[in-house]
Amino acid sequence: MQKITPCLWFDTQAEEAVGHYVSVFPDSRVLEVHRYGEAGPGEPGTVMLVVFELAGQRFQALNGGPQFTFNEAVSLAVDCADQQEVDTYWERLTDGGEPGPCGWLKDRYGLSWQIVPRRLGELMSDPDPGRVARATQAMLTMSKIDIRALDEAADG
């Protein structure tokens, strides 16, 4: 059992969102679905909480009502081994959502994600500050991260 489990607050779409997320990431599954009872505060029988795993990481999704919405102050970062993974996650998570700058996006539920290729981290820690600066400048012009373009920029 992991010590800390992020809880995502939805209005009424927790079960739908979880279904989408587990379809996007391998090694993902719904673990538990809890429903509101007669004591409320939600409509009896409707989904209150979904416990699920994404790529082996445990999360909770709560149908808590419209009081709170997602914003960019919290995002989920996805480690991508290569451009194919970047492209796949970008396509699946922007479907119904919106792309943002520098590898960030909002999905159809308003949750922010960072789709980050490992190569970006390698370039950002390059011992040559010129390569880092050129890669950084290239990244700042991108929406979805393009690994080849980052490498070309770093190389000058």
Domain range summary for the chain, segments of one domain joined by +:
1-68, 70-156
Spatial separation of the C-alpha atoms in residues 106 and 130, rounded to whole Å: 31
pLDDT of residue 1: 78
CATH classification for the domain delimited by 70-156, as one of 3.40.50.2300, 3.10.180.10, 3.40.50.12500, 3.90.1150.10: 3.10.180.10
What average pLDDT values come out for the chain (156 residues) when binned by 10 residues? 95 98 97 95 94 97 96 97 98 98 98 98 97 98 98 97
- Helix residue spans in the chain (DSSP H): 14-24, 83-94, 118-124, 129-139, 147-155
pLDDT of residue 40: 83
pLDDT of residue 114: 98
pLDDT of residue 96: 98
How many Cα atoms occupy the beta-carbon half-sphere of 128 within 13 Å?
A: 8
Architecture label for domain 1-68: 2-Layer Sandwich (3.30)
